[in-house]
Chains A and B, each alone.
Chain A
Amino acid sequence: DAMVIQNPRYQVTQFGKPVTLSCSQTLNHNVMYWYQQKSSQAPKLLFHYYDKDFNNEADTPDNFQSRRPNTSFCFLDIRSPGLGDAAMYLCATSSSFTDTQYFGPGTRLTVL
């Protein structure tokens, strides 16, 4: 029944060691989003794809990249994780920009 799936649920990496987080969806939605959420805060949008069109938020660090090889999958690459990148990373999808966003369970990233 899972509609937005994120893997892994927990990821531990070392300072500076690249890491990739995965998101997949069974909803066939056009839009996929990546959010970062730190403790006790609201989700913060990093970037989104509408189909293959990529949109980066102005304040998203260059350290964060994303790939969307097909409709179902989207990846978040953190090239050189710093201690400040430890957070919950949330993937969401929506049919269009004006429709409901549905979130995955998140990946909790720990940076040692």
Chain B
Amino acid sequence: GESVGLHLPTLSVQEGDNSIINCAYSNSASDYFIWYKQESGKGPQFIIDIRSNMDKRQGQRVTVLLNKTVKHLSLQIAATQPGDSAVYFCAENNPSNDYKLSFGAGTTVTVRA
């Protein structure tokens, strides 16, 4: 099975609210995590990443949190906008699998106007 997974396949958010997308991983040796955004008909777009020596990293309107104790990763989007509607994938760089990316199943975020 997949080593990285998202808790919810869909998330509906009111425009202007904050979004939280969750992801669990199973390989405690993983040391690098990435969030991608994929809009319909397009390739995955890098959003933000975090390495295992950190527990929080912030970008523009996005924050990634890493909890290594419970092997949990989350993406927070502040003031969600219609352009944030997309599928969000977490990905784990797996050293026990030759550092190949393991993707979660994806969460579809829909922003309500």
Residues of A within 8 A of B91 (CB): 101
Q: In the complex, how many angstroms separate the beta carbon of B12 from the nearest chain A beta carbon? A: 17
Q: A43 near B: Cβ within 8 Å? A: yes
Residues of B within 8 A of A104 (CB): 43
Pick from A41, A43, A102, A105: contact of B46, CB under 8 Å:
A102
Report how many residues on chain A are interfacial, defined by Cβ distance under 8 Å. 20
Cα–Cα distance between A82 and B37 once the two chains are bound (Å): 29
Task: Determine the residue in chain B with the shortest Cβ distance to A42.
Answer: B103
A90-B43, A100-B46, A103-B44 known; A45-B100 Cβ under 8 A? yes
Contact size range, B: 20 to 34
Q: A54 near B: Cβ within 8 Å? A: no
Cα–Cα distance between A45 and B42 once the two chains are bound (Å): 17
A98-B93, A102-B46 known; A43-B41 Cβ under 8 A? no
Task: Determine the residue in chain A with the shortest Cβ distance to B32.
Answer: A98
Let me know if A90 and B44 touch, CB within 8 A: yes
Q: A108 near B: Cβ within 8 Å? A: yes
Q: List 8 A-B contacts (CB under 8 A).
A: A6-B43, A42-B103, A45-B101, A55-B98, A97-B98, A98-B93, A100-B46, A101-B34
